[in-house]
């Protein structure tokens, strides 16, 4: 982590130890992701503060209290918890994101057309290049985890064979990963043409349906960190791209999507716990790391297996750093104040035998 | 040097399986095992017995023989290893001999005792990593069979237990073939890691060349950290696991939920179906999720383990008073897994999982999770409907099942010279 932040955090040790944070967190509330328990436990026990004060995710919360350019709640009074963001305030960001998504899907079509042409021509190298472009286009949408008919369309476009009976042999295995499987395992190219045609049709269908879908404020705010969480879990690990190994490309696309979403949320994040500057810094850091990797590999993002040990660790570090910052976004944008959990009525409480 | 005898397990298994069915006391069993071993000098025996006796926490022994196998209802010790094996026995008789040798060696290891002393110009009979006397250390060795053992190779197809099929891939699964299925599964549990590692090494040696390891995974149990003795340890999401397990000491209930009775293969009565799921838990991701969201996904308080809105781990969550999920979301793990309705009472199963940690993945993320182990009387009635409900839980974003399998754990070795699986070969 950056040295500056460590110094800042250390300077706050006394504040934490005095139970300063406990003032902000009511019983049962998890405002900003800080639990009441550790803070109140640390009152009168300074040693307990030494771990959390240095953690990046806590440091970004500390910014909320007006330290190092961070901004307080709207009243400017550190004792005031931030007021919830109204659900209506998410309408414009979500609408902007949907317009972006539809544009993205439309720009995917020329790449799919190139892919079809290369497959028909029997040119594996060109087909792989077109596949990479189409795959990146789709991931730049940012993890369309959608419900209803669009969920099955997403499965048909980007689904992996893992959960299908028969795996890669399943008739339901189609879309980008079916093409990846065929391209990188030396399968004949002509039989893949209909797969690419079907992909094109599914992408068109998704572009038609997408504007009609709804995204809840919480889901939208959560997506700001979940896209890159998925990239780490499924792409850099190689799980979802076992044949092409294009996890770095997928992560780069996920970063584009995340940057887009954070951009739409920027007006809401202004003055919210100082999260935005930290997020922007870490996203820029990850972008710069990815650019460095491309530069080191002749201008093309390397596959997972082309990363040297040092490059792999550097990318993991930058991704992890960005994620710790992004994980603060949902808490900073809470659309409703945390409610206390209802209790089991005392008269109804039973202990299992 | 003489050429190696490929079926050397026959010679290496020095002891017949002993012990009265189900009632073998640990010490008596250990004594019998010692008596059967090649005697040490009087001086050695005295020294070694003294050393073993002083280590009281190592002296607990679990009988290998019994109506049912150990390692099912046995209290969970701290460490476990699971190893799946595939058979390369050329014929049915060789397979039977290998299984007999496996049980024989398992009997020796669980009983403990001094290791046999061979000629000094021969490789030792035991690796010796636990010293000259193997302390029992609550070791249990549980042997199970996979569906593939009942294919055409050994003429066992007609004796396949009714519910034994290859584990299907559920929708969120990313099953790695190198971590899935197998002709056999051996579950090894003990209080200390070195005891488990020793047993694994000895058992593999016993059947080398005939039963070949396919995959293995090591597990550990959280230490008992209270607040009470009954408090369940935590999994790697930090939530207490096993709270709603049916009581293993209720024999009548176990006959309804765990042990196979009539209606299945005759040789299978007294056995149980073991479901193993190696579930990767994406812990870095989990650690970036708000506590409230974590608790809503599970349905329990992280600290106490109590159902949300309660104070005691073992409190009834009273779903009946919360039909709309205002207190515990309808999609919470505990609620989907066990809705606590009369209709789902017979879906309960003994869960006996272990945490695992095995380094990092290719993305630098901790490779940690849960070796989920469940014992079922009938998976189609128990594990499968429960898992099917869980396919929709919000927690699926944070986990990936990557391996495991369905296995059948036969009844225990039941009399002098008996062995696990012998019932398969009587006809």
- Would you say B249 and B230 are in contact if contact means Cβ atoms under 8 Å apart? no
pLDDT at site B34: 42
Query: How many whole angstroms separate alpha carbon A216 and alpha carbon A206?
Result: 19
Interface test with A, best of B242, B297, B324, B362 (most A CBs within 10 A): B362
By CA distance, what is A304's nearest residue in B? B362
Could you read off the pLDDT of A210-243 as tens digits, one per residue?
888 888 888 899 999 999 999 999 999 999 999 9
A306-A312-A314-A315 Cα dihedral, nearest 10 degrees: 80
| A237 chain-B contacts, CB cut-off 8 A | 361-363, 365
A342:B310 CB<8 A:
no
DSSP per position, A12-41: THHHHHTTTGGGT--TT--GGG--HHHHHH
pLDDT at A148 over 90: no
Say yes or no for a CB contact (<8 Å) between A341 and B363: no
pTM: 0.83
pLDDT of A80: 52
Minimal Cα–Cα distance from A66 to chain B, Å? 23
A118-132, B6-20, B84-98: range with lowest mean pLDDT: B6-20
pLDDT of residue A107 exceeding 70: yes
Poorest-pLDDT segment among A47-56, A157-166, B15-24, B109-118? B15-24
- 3-state percent breakdown (helix, strand, coil) of chain B, nearest 5: 30, 20, 50
Distance CA(B352)–CA(B219), nearest Å, equals: 11
| Residue B9 to chain A, least CA–CA distance (Å) | 37
Among the partner-chain residues B288, B326, B361, the one whose CB lies closest to the CB of A237 is B361
Identify the band that residue A272 occupies on the pLDDT scale cut at 50, 70 and 90: confident
Rounded Cα distance between B123 and A157, Å, is 59
Which residues from B are below 8 Å from A167, CB to CB? 169
Q: What is the pLDDT of residue B102?
A: 98
Residue B276, pLDDT score: 98
A341 closest CB neighbour out of B173, B244, B309: B309
Q: B227 preceded by cis ω (within 30°)?
A: yes
DSSP state of A63: G
- Structure-token pair, residue A204: 């068109």
**Residue at token pair 């800042």:** A8
Cβ neighbours of A160 in B, within 8 Å: 174
Would you call B321 and A233 a contact, using CB atoms and an 8 Å cutoff? Answer: no
H/E element, A118: helix A91-121
Contacts of A157-162 with CB under 8 Å at 24 or more apart are A157/A199, A157/A202, A157/A203, A157/A206, A160/A239, A160/A240, A160/B174, A162/B169, A162/B172, A162/B173, A162/B174, A162/B175
CA–CA min distance B285, chain A (Å): 6
Name the pLDDT band for A164 (thresholds 50, 70, 90): confident
Q: Give the distance from residue B306's alpha carbon to the nearest chain A alpha carbon, in angstroms.
A: 10
Residues of A in contact with B283 (CB under 8 A): none
**Model confidence band, residue B15 (pLDDT cutoffs 50, 70, 90):** very low
Retrieve residue A191's tokens.
């039989």
A32 in contact with B, Cβ within 8 Å: no
Residue B217, pLDDT > 90, answer yes
Chain B residues close to A324, C-beta within 8 Å: 288
pLDDT confidence of residue A146: 64
pLDDT digits (tens, 9 = 90+) for B171-215: 889 999 999 999 999 999 999 999 999 999 999 999 999 999 999
Distance CA B185, CA B207 (A): 13
Contacting residues of B for A37, CB less than 8 Å apart: 303
- Find the mean pLDDT for residues A264-284: 92
Q: Which residues pair with B386 in a beta bridge?
A: none
Do B316 and A349 make contact, defined as CB atoms within 8 angstroms?
Answer: yes
pLDDT at A10 over 80: no
Tokens matching residue B128: 């010796």
Return the pLDDT at A322. Answer: 97
- DSSP state at residue B3: P
Sign (positive or negative) of CA dihedral B62, B64, B68, B72: positive
- Which residues of chain B neighbour A343 with C-beta distances below 8 Å? 309-310, 327
Say yes or no: A265 contacts chain B, CB-CB below 8 A: no
pLDDT in the model for residue A152: 87
Which of A:331-350 have CB within 8 Å of B?
A: 331, 338, 341-345, 348-350
Least reliable range by pLDDT among A14-28, A236-250, B85-99, B125-139: A14-28
Q: Report the residue of B178, B288, B317, B335 to disrupt the A interface, i.e. the one with the largest count of A CBs within 10 Å.
A: B288
C-alpha triplet B24, B25, B30: angle, nearest 5°: 95
- The more confidently predicted of residues A142 and B177 is B177
State yes or no: pLDDT of A34 exceeds 50.
no
The CATH number of the structural domain formed by A90-332 is: 1.20.1420.20
Residue predicted with more confidence, B47 or B85: B85
Q: Specify the range with the lowest mean pLDDT, choosing from A154-168, B272-286, B306-320, B362-376.
A: A154-168
The residue behind tokens 């009074």 is A77
On chain B, the residues whose CB falls within 8 A of the CB of A30 are: 290-292
As a whole number of angstroms, the distance between CA A2 and CA A4 comes to: 5
Which residues of chain B are at the A interface, by a Cβ-Cβ cutoff of 8 Å? 168-175, 244, 247, 282, 284-285, 288-292, 303, 307-312, 314-318, 321-322, 326-327, 361-365, 397, 400
Kindly state the percentage of chain B with pLDDT values over 70. Answer: 87
Q: Compare B4 and B105 and report the one with higher pLDDT.
A: B105
Among A343, A344, A351, A345, which Cα is nearest to B243's?
Answer: A351
Measuring CA to CA, which residue among A273, A280, A326 is closest to residue A83? A273
Give the three-class secondary structure for B219: strand
- From B172, B317, B327, residue closest to A163, measured CB to CB: B172
DSSP, collapsed to helix, strand or coil, labels residue B134 as: strand
Q: Where is average pLDDT lowest: A66-80, B251-265, B304-318, B406-420?
A: A66-80
Q: Inform me whether the pLDDT recorded for B91 exceeds 80.
A: yes
Check residue A211 and give its pLDDT: 84
Residue A3 pLDDT more than 70?
Answer: no
Tokens representing B129? 């990593």
pLDDT at res. B357: 98
Average pLDDT across chain A, whole number: 80
The ipTM estimated for the assembled molecules is 0.79
A320 touches chain B (CB under 8 A): yes
Sequence ranges of the domains in chain A:
3-65, 90-332
What is the mean pLDDT of the segment spanning B132-152? 97
Q: Over 90: is that where the pLDDT of A284 sits? A: yes
- Does A232 contact B321 at a Cβ distance shorter than 8 Å? no
Task: Flag if A163 and B171 touch (Cβ within 8 Å).
Answer: yes
Rounded to an integer, the average pLDDT of B315-328 is 96
């Amino acid at each position: 982590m950056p040295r500056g932040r460590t110094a800042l955090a250390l300077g706050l040790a006394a504040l934490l130890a005095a139970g300063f944070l406990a003032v902000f967190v009511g019983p049962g509330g998890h405002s900003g992701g800080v639990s009441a328990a550790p803070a109140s436990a640390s009152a009168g026990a300074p040693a307990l503060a030494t771990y959390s004060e240095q953690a990046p995710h806590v440091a970004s919360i500390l910014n909320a209290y007006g330290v190092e350019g961070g901004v307080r709640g709207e009243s400017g009074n550190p004792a005031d918890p931030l007021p919830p963001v109204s659900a209506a305030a998410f309408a414009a960001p979500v609408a902007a994101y949907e317009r972006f998504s539809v544009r993205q899907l439309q720009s995917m079509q020329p790449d799919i057309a190139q892919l079809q042409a290369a497959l028909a021509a029997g040119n594996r190298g060109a087909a792989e290049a077109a596949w990479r472009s189409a795959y990146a286009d789709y991931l730049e949408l940012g993890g369309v985890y959608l419900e209803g008919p669009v969920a099955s369309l997403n499965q048909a476009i980007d689904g992996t064979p893992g959960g299908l009976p028969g795996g890669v042999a399943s008739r339901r295995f189609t879309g980008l990963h079916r093409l990846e499987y065929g391209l990188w395992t030396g399968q004949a190219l002509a039989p893949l043409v209909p797969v690419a045609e079907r992909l094109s049709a599914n992408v068109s269908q998704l572009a038609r349906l997408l504007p009609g879908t709804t995204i809840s404020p919480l889901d939208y705010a959560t997506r700001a960190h979940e896209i890159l969480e998925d990239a780490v879990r499924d792409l850099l690990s190689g799980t979802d791209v076992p044949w092409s190994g294009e996890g770095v490309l997928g992560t780069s696309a996920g970063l584009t999507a995340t940057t887009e979403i954070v951009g739409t949320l920027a007006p809401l994040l202004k003055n919210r716990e100082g999260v935005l500057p930290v997020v922007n810094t870490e996203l820029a850091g990850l972008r710069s790391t990815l650019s460095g990797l491309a530069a080191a590999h002749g201008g093309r993002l390397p596959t997972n297996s082309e990363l040297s040990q040092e490059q792999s660790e550097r990318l993991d570090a930058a991704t992890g750093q960005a994620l710790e910052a992004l994980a603060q976004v949902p808490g900073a944008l809470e659309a409703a104040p945390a409610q206390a959990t209802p209790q089991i009525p005392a008269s109804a409480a039973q202990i299992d035998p | 040097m003489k050429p190696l005898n490929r079926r050397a397990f026959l010679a290496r298994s020095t002891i017949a399986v002993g012990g009265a069915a189900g009632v073998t006391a640990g010490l008596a069993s250990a004594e019998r095992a010692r008596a059967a071993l090649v005697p040490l000098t009087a001086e050695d025996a005295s020294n070694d017995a003294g050393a073993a006796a002083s280590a009281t926490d190592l002296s607990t022994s679990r009988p290998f023989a019994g109506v049912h196998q150990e390692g099912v209802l046995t209290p969970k010790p701290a460490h476990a290893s699971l190893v799946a094996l595939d058979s390369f026995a050329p014929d049915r008789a060789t397979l039977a001999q290998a299984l007999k040798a496996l049980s024989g060696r398992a009997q020796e290891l669980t009983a403990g005792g001094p290791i046999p002393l061979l000629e000094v110009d021969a490789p030792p009979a035991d690796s010796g990593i636990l010293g000259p006397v193997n302390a029992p250390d609550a070791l249990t060795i549980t042997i199970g069979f996979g569906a593939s053992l009942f294919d055409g190779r050994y003429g066992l197809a007609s004796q396949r237990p009714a519910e034994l099929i290859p584990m299907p891939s559920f929708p969120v699964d990313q099953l790695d073939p190198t971590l899935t299925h197998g002709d056999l599964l051996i579950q090894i549990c003990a209080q200390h890691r070195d005891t488990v590692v020793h047993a694994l090494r000895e058992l593999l040696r016993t059947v080398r060349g005939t039963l070949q390891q396919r995959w293995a995974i090591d597990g550990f149990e959280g230490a008992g950290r209270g607040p009470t003795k009954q408090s369940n340890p935590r999994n790697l999401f930090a939530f207490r696991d096993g709270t709603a397990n049916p009581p293993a000491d209720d024999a009548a209930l176990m006959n309804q939920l765990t042990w196979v009775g009539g209606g299945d293969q005759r040789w299978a009565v007294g056995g149980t179906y073991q479901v193993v799921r190696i579930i990767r838990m994406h812990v870095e991701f989990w650690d970036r999720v708000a506590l409230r969201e974590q608790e809503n996904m599970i349905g329990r308080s992280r600290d106490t383990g109590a159902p949300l809105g309660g104070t005691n781990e073992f409190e009834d969550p009273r779903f009946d008073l919360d039909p709309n999920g205002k207190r515990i979301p309808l999609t919470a793990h505990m609620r989907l897994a066990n809705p606590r309705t009369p209709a789902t009472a017979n879906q309960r199963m003994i869960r006996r999982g272990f945490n695992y940690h095995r380094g990092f993945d290719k993305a630098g993320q901790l490779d940690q999770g849960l070796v989920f182990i469940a014992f079922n009387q009938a998976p189609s009635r128990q594990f499968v409907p429960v898992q099917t409900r869980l396919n929709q839980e919000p927690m699926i974003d944070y986990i990936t099942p990557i391996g495991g399998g369905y296995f059948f754990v036969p009844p225990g070795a039941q009399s002098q010279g008996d062995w696990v699986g012998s019932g398969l070969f009587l006809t």
